[in-house]
Amino acid sequence: DAGVIQSPRHEVTEMGQEVTLRCKPISGHDYLFWYRQTMMRGLELLIYFNNNVPIDDSGMPEDRFSAKMPNASFSTLKIQPSEPRDSAVYFCASSKRTGSNTGELFFGEGSRLTVL
């Protein structure tokens, strides 16, 4: 069974360019999360979806960040324009809600973004 698939694994871009990160969650999972990980701040939740609907985007740092989930098998995180401070590893994770708990999260291998 394939896990969460993210692309690209590595992205190097110049300040001001648009960046699009992609995620395919595990089939049958109803929650999808986007996290950002840095040495300074650890793992931060950016946004999460339930059944393809954005539920909480309060972690999105600013209007330059946007996320979509057009269907149950695909999500994107877009940064436009990118800035050097956006450099981080971005993780996508999915889970299936069981009872009153979202249960364990299954993470992808991450997309390492470097903005020069």
Provide the 10 A C-beta neighbour count for residue 23. 25
72 near other proteins (CB under 8 A): no
- Considering the complex, state which of residue 72 and residue 105 has its C-beta at the smaller distance from other proteins: 105
Distance (Å, whole) CA 70 – CA 113? 23
106 near other proteins (CB under 8 A): yes
CB of 81 to other proteins, least distance (A): 27
Distance of CA 10 to the CA centre of its chain: 14
Residues that bind other proteins (CB under 8 A): 4, 31, 33, 35, 42-43, 45, 48, 56, 91, 93, 97, 100-110
